[in-house]
């Protein structure tokens, strides 16, 4: 999951949209691009959250934090998490139509792991094209959310 200071967090739809768009540009750019593993590791984490349906969990509070959490913030966070979950489900359906969520996550995790480790040559071109299509669909769905 992307890490940001609690008081200055952005919208998850925007943050994950930037992540997907940047990872897509990394795929289409030169293979020796710097920072490449970080994008793909964050995508793998996002896919795990999608697989486990844990995008909507509230942010944990520190034990000694006595500040009240506004109900508006909780509601807004849930709406944002649901929008990201729906965008992932849309990309899943558009690219992998008949595969289960676990199969999709397993397939994409394998591709993103190899990309993050610089083992692009080991990937089949079909797998790479499928990952690109997934990122394109995810980016568009998050933009429309």
DSSP annotation string for 48-76: HHHHHT-TTPPPPPPTT--PPPPHHHHHH
The pLDDT value recorded for residue 46 is 95
The pLDDT value recorded for residue 30 is 63
Token pair in block for residue 52: 């486990």
The CA-to-CA distance between both ends of the chain, in Å, stands at 19
The alpha carbon of residue 33 and the mean position of all alpha carbons in its chain are separated, in whole angstroms, by 20
Distance CA 47, CA 138 (A): 12
Global pTM reads: 0.82
Q: What is the pLDDT of residues 18-64, one digit of tens each?
A: 999 999 988 887 655 555 788 899 999 999 999 998 887 666 666 77
The pLDDT value recorded for residue 93 is 97
Number of other CB atoms surrounding residue 103 within 10 Å: 12
51, HSE (Cβ side, Cα atoms, 13 Å): 17
């Amino acid at each position: 999951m992307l890490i940001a200071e609690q008081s200055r967090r952005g919208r998850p739809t925007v943050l994950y949209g930037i992540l997907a768009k940047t990872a897509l540009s990394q795929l289409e750019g030169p293979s020796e691009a710097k920072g490449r593993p970080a994008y793909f590791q964050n995508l793998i984490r996002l896919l795990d959250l999608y697989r486990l349906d844990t995008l909507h969990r509230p942010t944990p509070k520190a034990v000694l934090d006595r500040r009240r959490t506004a109900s508006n913030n909780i509601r807004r966070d849930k709406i944002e998490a649901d929008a990201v979950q729906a965008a992932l489900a849309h990309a899943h359906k558009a690219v992998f139509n008949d595969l289960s969520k676990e199969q999709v996550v397993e397939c994409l995790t394998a591709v993103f792991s190899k990309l993050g480790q610089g083992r692009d040559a080991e990937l089949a071109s079909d797998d790479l094209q499928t990952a690109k299509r997934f990122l394109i669909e995810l980016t568009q769905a998050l933009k429309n959310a």
